[in-house]
Amino acid sequence: MAFNVTSNYAGKAFGQYVSAALKEAKSLEGLTVLENIKYKENIRKMAGSSLVADASCDFADAGTLALTEAVLEPKNLQINVDLCKKTLLSGFESEEMKAGAFNRTAPTFDQYVLSYFGEIIADSVEGSIWTGSGAANSGTFKGFLTAGGAFAAGGTVQVNNVGGAGTAYTAANIIAQLQFLVASIPANVYGKEDLRIYMNMKTYRFYISAISALGYVNAYSMNGDYIPMFEGITIQPCPGMPDDKLVAAQISNLFYGTDLLSDDTNIKMLDMTQLDGSDNMRVVAKFSGGVQVGVGADSVQQD
């Protein structure tokens, strides 16, 4: 990895670092998280039919009970970055360094790098959950909405947006889009306590604008007490979802698998000077992730 510093190294440093905003892994709040998966987890699905029959004096076997599986296989991912400490000598970071040729660490810089890389991982996981390709060397795992992903392979109900496939959402049409999604939810799923509507932040903004205009409980600009819902169904904003798509599903039917959830924030910085005499610092993180749907027919994708 290339590492460079662009600094005029004049005047006074601000005292902290800033970076472009990244997506938070908020989708995990609307998924069932399965940990301690080293290789694969089999989500066991049971389906019964014609099990209830009229009573009789004798034992009469009736109906069928089928047990199938959906496989959740997290993909192992990593961050490996080499940072040359010598590069920091030309910036304000050098003012934090102690005297001596072997003292080239800048504590504020080191702490921010660890924090920033944690945000990078969260951003990556959030994107992969929905649209990760899972291709080799892509740094992603296959997402729910990816072609050939969990929804397509699991038989999720697919419906078009109001106005036709790919119709762009606006504040003017988002209510109609949501009404159509709710109407498409299977009757056996509608009313379940953990049923959620998933949408990205752009769509969520349209929803807030539309509900505000309608005057929810006379709060025309919303308020801090508002719980985002549509016709009794809680809304789960998901920064990693693409535009103009909605999903309706139960939390208990959407799965995120990993080895250990805290691996996403367990980032190590290794000073290589004491090990090989180089002037490098290595940033290392290892984590895994993958998604799967339990019963595809109980979830709806609209786009």
Q: Which two tokens stand for residue 42?
A: 């089999």
DSSP 142-211: --SSSTTSHHHHHT-EEEPPTTSTTPPP-TTTHHHHHHHHHHHS-TTTTT-TTEEEEE-HHHHHHHHHHH
* pLDDT the model gives residue 66: 87
* pLDDT the model gives residue 296: 93
Task: Identify which of 201, 214, 224, 202 has the alpha carbon closest to the alpha carbon of residue 175.
Answer: 214
Q: Label the pairing between strands 195-199 and 233-237.
A: parallel
Question: Mind listing the pLDDT tens digit of every residue in the chain (303 residues)?
Answer: 555 555 444 333 334 434 455 567 899 999 999 999 999 988 887 888 888 888 989 898 888 988 888 889 999 999 998 887 666 554 444 445 444 444 545 556 677 778 888 888 999 999 999 999 999 999 999 999 999 999 999 999 999 999 999 999 999 999 999 999 999 999 999 999 999 999 999 999 999 999 888 876 665 556 666 778 899 999 999 999 999 999 999 999 999 999 988 888 888 888 877 787 777 888 888 999 999 999 999 999 999
* Dist CA 247 CA 178 (whole Å): 10
* pLDDT the model gives residue 220: 57
* Dist CA 160 CA 164 (whole Å): 6
The DSSP 8-state label assigned to residue 91 in this structure reads S
* Dist CA 189 CA 171 (whole Å): 27
* Dist CA 231 CA 233 (whole Å): 6
Cβ within 8 Å of residue 52, ≥6 positions away:
63
* Dist CA 262 CA 25 (whole Å): 13
* pLDDT the model gives residue 99: 41
Burial of 302 (0-12, 13-18, 19+ CB in 10 A): buried
Q: Which two tokens stand for residue 301?
A: 């994708």
The pTM assigned to this predicted structure is 0.83
Distance of CA 3 to CAs 96, 139, 204, 274, Å?
Answer: 19, 20, 37, 21
* pLDDT the model gives residue 258: 93
* Residue 143 near residue 125, CB atoms below 8 Å: no
